[in-house]
Amino acid sequence: MFMYLIRRVIYAIPIMLGVTLLCFLLLHLAPGDPLSSVLPADASEGLRNQMLALYGFDKPLPVQFVTWLWRALHGDLGTSISTGDPVATDVFGALAYSLRLALVATLLGFCFGGMFGFIGGYYRNTLVDRVSSFVSVLGVSVPHYWLAIVLVIVFAVYLPWLPATGGGPDGAAGWTWDWQHVRYMLLPAVAMSVIPMGIIARTVRALVGDILGQEFIVGLAAKGLGNRAILAHVAKNVAPTALSVMGLQLGYLLGGSILIETIFSWPGTGFLLNTAIFQRDYPLLQGTILTLALLFVLVNLIVDTLQTVLDPRIART
């Protein structure tokens, strides 16, 4: 197990280097001026050159990349062009909000998706299965940003039960797990949970149907085991794959929640990325993307480890 973890970490190093290089090149090849958000339109050439030298944009791209990567390895992600604050402070503050939202959305998607998938797989080719399949397909098909707008119209405008935007009663000033703060999370969490719910439901349904048709299930029934004990064996065989899918969905939600966080003004990394894109804040963009990529690799490493522990048939030497 230890050697497997070491190999996984070693395999992740070139992946992360490729991600950082691709991120750096795409940002610098995009048209536009990174200093347009901080310099007036009539700024002199001397002031522009001074600002370029201050942020290191006057150096060749290979030098800029090596310098940025070396500082990032030491925990320095640079300084935001638009705000002047350390990028690490902004990124990790926003990451805490994104983690809360993604964890709640993944938990909702896993619980309801697992329930619909298990019921649909157990009662296959029945009315219950068709209803379960319809819900799962609907979850995958409905655009989550459209659902977010509908939820705001219904539960924040027509039925003013929940707030439409914000990260809490005091904005992004602080967070506690009480009702006054959690109510701001409900609508974005529900909107984000529909896609993982549909994916997990379809995965679990296929797994349950396949496992119930295998010979060892017939053998368990022949030994006199009841339905509850047989379902426990089915759930144990479904768990590793379902856990793997859930881990991937958690990673996707952390990096792909830009639209949801922007609609609800949720102060997470998605909202931060959207702001950095429009302001062409290169250091903030690079730091946020690098942090999310590292977190995605870490989540997959944890999921692979748990999958190996849950399923002893997976032999990784």
pLDDT reported for residue 83: 78
pLDDT reported for residue 256: 62
pLDDT reported for residue 244: 77
For residue 72, the surrounding DSSP H or E stretch is helix 61-73
Long-range contacts of 102-106 (CB under 8 A, 24+ apart): 102/192, 102/250, 102/253, 102/254, 102/257, 103/250, 104/185, 104/189, 104/193, 105/188, 105/189, 105/190, 105/192, 105/193, 105/196, 105/253, 106/193, 106/196, 106/246, 106/249, 106/250, 106/253
pLDDT reported for residue 45: 74
pLDDT reported for residue 31: 65
pLDDT reported for residue 41: 66
Q: What is the pLDDT along the chain (317 residues), one digit of tens a residue?
A: 667 667 777 877 787 788 778 877 777 776 666 666 666 666 677 777 777 777 777 788 788 888 888 888 888 888 887 777 888 888 888 888 888 888 888 889 888 988 888 888 888 888 888 888 888 888 888 888 888 899 999 998 888 888 888 887 776 667 778 888 888 889 999 998 888 888 888 888 888 888 877 777 778 777 777 777 878 878 887 877 787 788 778 777 876 678 888 888 888 888 888 888 877 787 888 888 888 888 887 777 777 777 777 665 655 54
pLDDT reported for residue 58: 75
- Predicted model pTM: 0.80
Place of tokens 């379960």: 132
Q: For residue 205, what are its two tokens?
A: 């349904």
- Would you say the C-alpha torsion 212, 108, 248, 152 has a positive or negative sign? positive
pLDDT reported for residue 33: 63
User: What domains appear along the chain, each with residue ranges and CATH number?
Assistant: 21-73 (no CATH), 87-310 (1.10.3720.10)
pLDDT reported for residue 220: 76
pLDDT reported for residue 37: 61
Neighbours of 236 (CB within 10 A): 12
